[in-house]
Amino acid sequence: MKRVTIVVILCVAASGCSRQAADTPENRRALAQRFAREVTPLKPMLEAAASQQLSASPVPGFTAEVLAELQFDKVEAATVDCMTKHFTLAELETLTDFYTSPVAQSYREKFPAYSAEVSSLMKQEVFRAAEVVKERGKRTQQSP
């Protein structure tokens, strides 16, 4: 009997039955909805993106009117549909676990500063390389 119990425990452990439900569209959708609520709250992200894109508008109040017109529920539903379509249940579980962890929350707080610094360095390097290529082209045109 002990041998059967050990074999059953090993089989269950090996099958990955930890907490994972069946990988069905319904289960994916439920987890994608949780991800959208807890990890990527759409409203603040969409508001920030729209504000940034429309900040140069010369029309007074235009940005505020656009923000009031945004259909967050429609975009969130499309986001959930896309996640359901493109990610497995295991992937959604892993992503949700990671992005709700203290490490990921710290990452999200630090990422904007990191990204700005790295972007600046990348721009500098691209401009430097472009100057080298321009100079090389000038020398090539000047040689007989």
Write the CB contacts of 47 (distance below 8 Å, at least 6 apart in sequence).
67, 70
Residue 40 and residue 80 share a domain: yes
73 shares its domain with 24: yes
Mean pLDDT calculated for residue range 4-26: 56
Mean pLDDT on 29-39: 91
**Confidence tier at 20 by pLDDT (50, 70, 90):** low
126 and 93, same structural domain? no
Please tell me the total count of domains within the chain: 2
Q: Does 125 fall in a domain?
A: yes
Same domain for 82 and 135, yes or no, is no
Distance of alpha carbon 103 from the chain centroid? 15
In a shared domain, residues 79 and 30? yes
Write b or e for each residue in 87-111: b if 16 or more Cβ atoms lie within 10 A of its Cβ, otherwise e: bebeebbebbeebeeeeeeeeeeee
Q: What is the pLDDT of residue 11?
A: 38
Question: Which tokens belong to 75?
Answer: 């975009």
Q: Find tokens 């986001």 and name the residue.
A: 79
In a domain, 10, yes or no: no
Is 6 inside any structural domain? no
pLDDT at 12 over 80: no
Domain that holds residue 127: 110-144
